[in-house]
Amino acid sequence: AQKITQTQPGMFVQEKEAVTLDCTYDTSDQSYGLFWYKQPSSGEMIFLIYQGSYDEQNATEGRYSLNFQKARKSANLVISASQLGDSAMYFCAMRGLEEGNTPLVFGKGTRLSVIA
């Protein structure tokens, strides 16, 4: 079974600054995937970034990067140069990749507020 922990219920960041959203996970699988999704106030879930457990390099997608520390079981999301439009809920999620049918398991989310 997988478990995701997001310890920051809410975060504030100044516009144009970088922010790190924490995510730790627990799994007994050797092969797994880690995901971050953004949920703005309109409600949709937007895929941001993916990291595979065997990927040696940290994933990056534009202003998003995933700081993956396997030994610490952490997969923090770093958003650089924050914009007002980044204000949203952010969910860390994972799924095991060994059996093929495991669904996404989500954390409780972090609400990010970007201040002008």
Partner 1 sequence: DSGVTQTPKHLITATGQRVTLRCSPRSGDLSVYWYQQSLDQGLQFLIQYYNGEERAKGNILERFSAQQFPDLHSELNLSSLELGDSALYFCASSVGPAQETQYFGPGTRLLVL
- Find the binding residues for partner 1 in span 13-42 (CB under 8 A): 33, 35, 37, 42
From residue 84 to residue 103, the character string flagging contacts with partner 1 as x (rule: CB under 8 A) and all else as - is: -------x-x---x-xxxxx
- Does residue 45 interact with partner 1 by CB under 8 A? yes
Task: Yes or no: say if 11 and 21 are a contact pair by the CB < 8 Å rule.
Answer: yes
Among 9, 41, 43, 72, binds partner 1 (CB under 8 A): 43
How many residues lie near partner 1 (CB under 8 A)? 24
Distances (CA, A) of 7 to 18, 24, 72, 81, 88: 18, 9, 15, 23, 16
Q: Which residue has the tokens 């860390």?
A: 92
Judged by CB, which is closer to partner 1: 27, or 82? 27
Q: Smallest distance, Å, CB 43 to partner 1?
A: 5
**What's phi and psi for 27, nearest 5 deg?**
-160, 155
- Among residues 26, 75, 12, 72, the alpha carbon closest in space to that of 49 is found at 75
Strands 110-115 and 10-14, bridge-based pairing:
parallel
Question: Using CB under 8 A as the criterion, which residues of the chain lie in contact with partner 1 when the complex forms?
Answer: 33, 35, 37, 42-47, 50, 91, 93, 97, 99-109
